[in-house]
Amino acid sequence: MENMFKLSRRKGSAKWQVRKRWPSDVSAILKGEFNASTGEEDRKLAQQRLPFISAEYERRVQEARDRLSAQPRGSLSDAEAHRMAADFYREALPRYVTSRQLDPIQHQELQALMHQRLKGAQAMLGRNEYGAVTGIARELMKRADITLPEESPSLEFLHRMLMRAFVSLHEAAAANLDGKADFVPSDAALLDAPADPGEQSEGRTLDALITAYEADKAPGWSGSTKKAKPAVFRLLRDVFPDRTVASITREDARDVVEVLRQLPTQIGKRKELAGLTVPQAVEKGRALKLQTISPKTINDGYLLHIASLFNWARREQWIASSPFEGLSVYDPVDDSERRDPFTIEQLNTIFASGPWTAPWSPDRDKPGRYWVPLLCLYHGLRNGEAAGLRVEDVGTDGDIPVIHIRPYDTRKLKTKDARATLALHPELIRLGFMHHVEARRDARETLLFPEGAANSRGQVGAKLGERFSAHVKKLGLEGRKLGMHSFRHCFEDRLREAELPERTALALARRTEPGSSRIYGDGLSMRQKAEAVAKIRYPGLDLSHLRDGQK
């Protein structure tokens, strides 16, 4: 934990000090922040004092938590009130259901009395009159060491839940006297109370959570996700060794963010960091002034995966809420500025070089090198979406050639929105793309492009993308991170300039309507899509040398 502390100097003082926020759960007792002087002017000597300062910090935090736990709680969640009522029903039920033998007269009298009491209890519930259960509520809160003010909405909710249980107990008693052995309470809430996350997760460690999460989710992970997870799990195991999931607080989560801000790049590959835990690697990286990971890597490479893990834990009732919910770091680089589109001049240079010096012919090899960039240009496809196309993914809808973008066993899609059926751009038809498809179909091939096979990490078309980037670099084209994904930016620029209706544009771009979970293209006919995609043009781009006489 000492690696979570930062050394600083007071203004006008040569001695190093430590400052750190108190955890939010003890803010009622520990105000402001923890502040301690190391008493040292030498940084290395000050660093050696950190374990002792850390121990003092932990002692004071634990002392505050012990004081808080000794005080009556002043809050009650709806889920807790629900469980209290359900427990009361189960515990009281044997006392309400008569098990002794009755003679006919006793049975008739008790049966009439119980039905009368049931009607009375139902009427009280209908009038929001809770006098019959206020004493029970006081006893249950006393057991739980909870004190609530009389006007508290939480207390009113507890009263109502207990009154519902009170009514159900009378229903059970009346049903028993009526001879209904298969009685089930009409108030199903009493049989379906939310589980107590604290009890369920007691003793469950972070390591056990990671193991359970992997067992449940790993079969559906893409290759890139499988590659990213080990670094995330290593971070959590190193920062929280032997911790239970329920003990990890929001303050702990913020500490993880601070670790990530100082995490060196390539931590798993640097010889100077070999054998170190993540906190140790952070400390050594700081001393060696190693480059740290970018905000994008912190957010997308770590926090996104950590949030997914803890959200799963919440859904599976290991914890009541995720301490990592909503955490991210500010990234000064806007998404739109990360990669440049190709200019028209650059597109002309690209498509007059390499495999594009002549029209496509079936006797040529490496069809992916030729067709994948063109598919990305005219449809805004991602590299893996285009490179992984199968022969069966290209067909016709009536007389309109179409492409189906869909996942299959060895190829996942980046987002749910990515799945779509697109009308083939007329320029690709003119360039002979359908002839290539038919040739692969006649040869009984599965993939449109042999280069589209997934590599050992599950990445589709990775080598193809790398070779294209190398080709662009060799051409000397200038721009920010020019590569296969630059075609997607080109496509979206052309989409805006086409001035299509928003619904149509979102369908072609395979994006979701803002505020909706439904993909906008669902309501368009294929004829409408074909007419729309034909309006995606690149004025000034000359591909006439690739058409083989077709117009």
Buried b (16+ CB within 10 A) or exposed e, 322-348: bbbeebebeeeeeeeeebbbbeeebbb
The CATH number that domain 201-315 falls under is 1.10.150
Alpha helices by DSSP H, 268-303: 278-288, 295-296
Highest mean pLDDT among 3-17, 162-176, 177-191, 210-224: 162-176
Q: What is the DSSP letter of 9?
A: E
Q: What is the DSSP string of 163-216?
A: HHHHHHHHHHHHHHHTT-TT---S-GGGGSPPP-HHHHHTT-BHHHHHHHHHHH
Helix axes 433-442, 367-379, angle to 10 degrees: 130
Residue spans per domain, the chain:
2-70, 79-194, 201-315, 344-546
In this structure, what are the phi and psi dihedrals at residue 397, rounded to the nearest 5 degrees?
A: -120, 100
How high does pLDDT run on average in the chain?
Answer: 83
In this structure, what are the phi and psi dihedrals at residue 247, rounded to the nearest 5 degrees?
A: -85, -10
**Residues in contact with 382: Cβ distance below 8 Å, sequence separation at least 6, in sequence order:** 376, 414, 418, 484, 485, 488
Coil vs helix vs strand at 22: coil
Closest of 436, 441, 437, 380 to residue 405, by C-alpha: 380
Give 412 or 301, the one with higher predicted confidence: 301
Q: Are 427 and 378 in contact (CB under 8 A)?
A: yes
CA–CA distance, 512 with 509 (Å, rounded to integer): 9
Q: Which amino acid is at 431?
A: L
**519: confidence class by pLDDT, cuts 50, 70, 90:** very low
Q: Which amino acid is at 205?
A: T
Highest mean pLDDT among 8-17, 122-131, 405-414: 122-131
pLDDT digits (tens, 9 = 90+) for 158-170: 999 999 999 999 9
- What pLDDT, on the 0 to 100 scale, is given for residue 504? 84
The yes-or-no verdict on residue 71 having pLDDT over 70 is no
Architecture of domain 344-546: Orthogonal Bundle (1.10)
**348: confidence class by pLDDT, cuts 50, 70, 90:** very high
Q: How many CB atoms lie within 10 A of CB 245?
A: 24
Instruction: Give percent of the chain with pLDDT exceeding 70.
Output: 88
